[in-house]
Chain A
């Protein structure tokens, strides 16, 4: 419809119409931009100095509390990308069976609990099936590494405790 009107207009009139349109469009656009410049606060964050506060539900790097883990293998079964490796053996019968913090007996001895974070897709399915709720998503999103092998975290090792304390300390601050 607008097209037919444009065709009827003489080229001379069209020339000035174009100039008028360009000026009005530019004016409208610039007025909005100036409004943003003067009234709106910047939305970007200067990252290393200022960190975004993540919501509590944010799903970042997985953390397994190995002391509460009963090595039931359900998380490894639920994982759609098979990134959880668990090694365990049945506890010898003559030994006393320790319990987790919520009273579940630990019938298996956990030898290795490794999560390959480079394979993990952060879907959170493993956290939903855990009977003792020992596997959770932490708030740590800064764990860049130099090689792929470094992404394999064994949660029965000691350095994980130091990492956990650092993350929990950040959370409280």
Chain B
């Protein structure tokens, strides 16, 4: 792409220029400052698009389910953006972004935009990157934005909290894992899906889940989590999932629900942003000063304890930064 201004770039994204959007998401992934500048021009009101999360263990069939959801929404005349997150290898930093493989049947459909993202394993960064990518897809004008993540780790839980409707995907073969995930269901999911419902153990798994659901305390007028059995390989149960999403959306948008959601999201987002920003500013300031190394050496030599070291750095830094302001 040729050199363009920030405004032009943002405009292209709004006009559904896929390449401009793809480049923007890359800049977001690389944490380039320019990405923020473009994003400033892309604010859309919360709730313009339906933002879905699909989460669950590896092998639960999430990608196949997402592929079915894409097909179903397309039949209903809605456009779909997908962000498929796969874990980066902690050893090599590489990633096999295999989710797209299962969704590639929709690759030719101009009403579908699929973007794979690697988790890249840095603290807090994933949630922020994904939220920004959601914003890009909202700005591109997709009716539905689906985020697929592996449901493990704090990063992923953060992502699940930032979507409007989160679908947790379980399978009958998970057995004891279902017990362990009960807490997680209450924590993050608005819809529970038992995928691979053509496998043995379906009945027991459904029963286990229903018991877990019933034990959950529901506020007056609150949302009770529906349980849907699906077979993503045949498309069985998908219609019902989409209907439940619509129900949850209606529920959420009732009264001031959407406003409350927007508030929660803003709260979460800003706290993540502030944390990131503080970290960045501190490291930017001490980089190249040799300060970090000096403290580390003193710690190793037993001259100072880590708590005092951090306090000293912070006090130094805060003074310095105040002065700068």
Partners in one complex: no
